[in-house]
Structure 1
Amino acid sequence: MTKQSHFPLFLGIDGGGTKCQVRLENDRGVLLAQAQSGPANIATSVTVAQQSILAATMQALQKANLPASALSTINAYAGLAGAGINGAKNKMAQWQHPFAQFNFSTDLHIACQGAHGNNSGAIIILGTGFCAGAIKGNTIIELGGHGLLLSDGASGGWIGLTLFRYALEVLDGMSPSSPLIKCLLTELGCDNSSSLTELALNAKPAYFASFAPLVFNMQDDPVAQTILAQAAKFITRYIEHLAQLGYQSITLMGGTAKTITPWLSSKAQGYLCDAQYSPEQGAIQLAKMHL
């Protein structure tokens, strides 16, 4: 699946449930452009993920003042949400891509590579979904990441979904309301459980994740405090488990990582460290390894 190129470019792709981010570099490691497009979770849709990858790539080429024909000179590596699911992985592997070279693994893999390089370390990704894992030598450990229905506690999707569940209890008269719940219902234009159910019954995780910022913005609200305390407890279990496996350097990454950190205990925070590089840079490191 490799095509010849006359001047190599490297593209790191971070494909999540909400957005696809790419970083384009030349062969000397100089940043040429960064770009972003739509969702790229291959467990949700391989076709949409491929479209998002190409859309972000074309944006990056345009920003770098490079012609569309340069697409065939790019050595790309993608870390994709859903790549841990064999059916989605096998379907993605059949892609007749336009790149000089294209390889992929999970979004966790590239994030861990970026965070810790070739050193031993672990990460927890808190985006639309949730996953945790570590790299030790050539071994990749992956935990969680089974989707909102089965896991993904503390993710943006889970925070938003839990907010909706509380709102339904309020509308059913089972729980007292709060400023946060009133704000949510006003924003949605819902005043009864039937209308809220109709709105959210078939919603995707990314839809629920879009309401996570509302919870963080109203942290003094009792419902917000309950939700965030539950999220912090969930994250702490994974931090403690990774520490027991011998990983003393753990990086929290993703859209809610910074805002949830203050909710963790001082002991849990003691294991945390900043990432050395971004997931996209980790993907470029892996692209170079595959040459």
Structure 2
Amino acid sequence: MNMYLGLDGGGTGCRAVLTDDSGQIIGRGTGGPCNIMSDRDGAVAALTECAAETLAGRDPAGVTAVLGLAGVNTSGAGDWLPPLLPFGRSRVVQDAMTAAYGALGDSDGIVAAMGTGSIFIRKLGDAITTIGGWGPILGDEGSGNWLGRRFLSEVLRAGDGLTGQTVLTRQTESRHGGRNGIVAFARDARASDFGAEVAHLLAARDDPVAIRVLSEAAELVAVSIAAIQKDELLPVTFTGGLGTVYAALLKGRWPQREPLGNPLDGALRMARTWAADGSRARAEF
């Protein structure tokens, strides 16, 4: 039996879905954080766990799989990772591709994928262009990781008297056991750990620090969207865990369109297209 697997992996976790020839879903799975650039061994372990749960004992030799992962563009994982996977045929692509095909289908547009990381994608016909996606240390502006880092930096500045203390900064400092506790947390924190701080930021949106950080982030996102629009005004689709946040913050800047699906849908669509017409899939993807 031919089977098709789509997998979406990022800094927060990975998830997969398996279908048969008719498109019926026959398996699902989840795994831990999966950024192959910042934690190669951890990502491979998470993918292995996710694949095993999704297959549930089925023979992987009959599976055509497409994995959309964070960090592919900077890690070379498109070459070294497929041989480590159990599937009969597998392709590893940047998560921007699966996000674009999941959100837009065959339509043209801009996708602002805003999760633990961030990337901005322009799809025009079969051509895909990206801005950003450079990882949790040097890039991913506006992402959960970026917001968490920026937020905690503001808390430290407020504690030093460089900006005014607010209810939110005091609560955050207390939650971490003081400013030294914030620094200790940041020393070992992963992107997903910084991303978890965003819940506290969003829960206090009227706080001056929250307003300042979210406004700064929104402008950075707007700059990237404007840059990738180029000469054509394309509708913008916001996706990811923070997609609705930025859709609201940037309402009215450009026409917005709701996503048709998610990156997991995009990965599965790519797997089925690849199996149906390999030459076309290679050209598109």
So what's the TM-score if we normalise by structure 2?
0.90
CA distances 1:81-120 after superposition (whole Å, capped 9, x unpaired): 0011154444324x33211111111111001011112222
Aligned to 2:232: 246
Q: How far apart, in 2, do the equivalents of 1:247 and 1:55 lie?
A: 42
- Where in structure 2 are the equivalents of 1:138-153 lying within 5 Å? 138-153=126-141
Aligned to 1:92: 81
Aligned to 2:66: 77
**Larger deviation, residues 244-253 vs 108-117:** 244-253
Tell whether 2:256 aligns with 1:272: yes
Contact 1:78 1:103 in 2 (8 A): yes
Aligned equivalent of 1:186, options 160, 174, 191: 174
- Where in structure 2 are the equivalents of 1:146-165 lying within 5 Å? 146-165=134-153
Q: Name the amino acid aligned to 1:158.
A: W
- Where in structure 2 are the equivalents of 1:27-42 lying within 5 Å? 27-42=21-36
* Pairs aligned (count): 275
Aligned equivalent of 2:212, options 226, 232, 254: 226
Aligned equivalent of 1:135, options 105, 123, 126: 123
Distance 1:96 1:194, change over 3 A: closer
Tell whether 2:273 aligns with 1:289: yes
Tell whether 2:13 aligns with 1:19: yes
Distance 1:260 1:179, change over 3 A: farther
Q: How far apart, in 2, do the equivalents of 1:88 and 1:104 lie?
A: 7
Aligned Cα root-mean-square deviation (Å): 1.8
Q: Name the amino acid aligned to 2:74.
A: I
What's the secondary structure of 2:184's corresponding residue?
helix
Q: Name the amino acid aligned to 1:99.
A: F
- Uncovered stretches (5+) of structure 2, i.e. residues with no partner: 276-285
- Uncovered stretches (5+) of structure 1, i.e. residues with no partner: 1-6, 63-67
Aligned equivalent of 2:104, options 107, 116, 128: 116
Q: Name the amino acid aligned to 2:192.
A: A
What's the secondary structure of 2:84's corresponding residue?
coil
Q: Name the amino acid aligned to 2:258.
A: D
**Larger deviation, residues 14-23 vs 45-54:** 45-54
CA distances 1:215-242 after superposition (whole Å, capped 9, x unpaired): 1111011100101111111121223233
Q: How far apart, in 1, do the equivalents of 2:28 and 2:84 lie?
A: 24
Task: Report % sequence identity.
Answer: 26
So what's the TM-score if we normalise by structure 1?
0.88
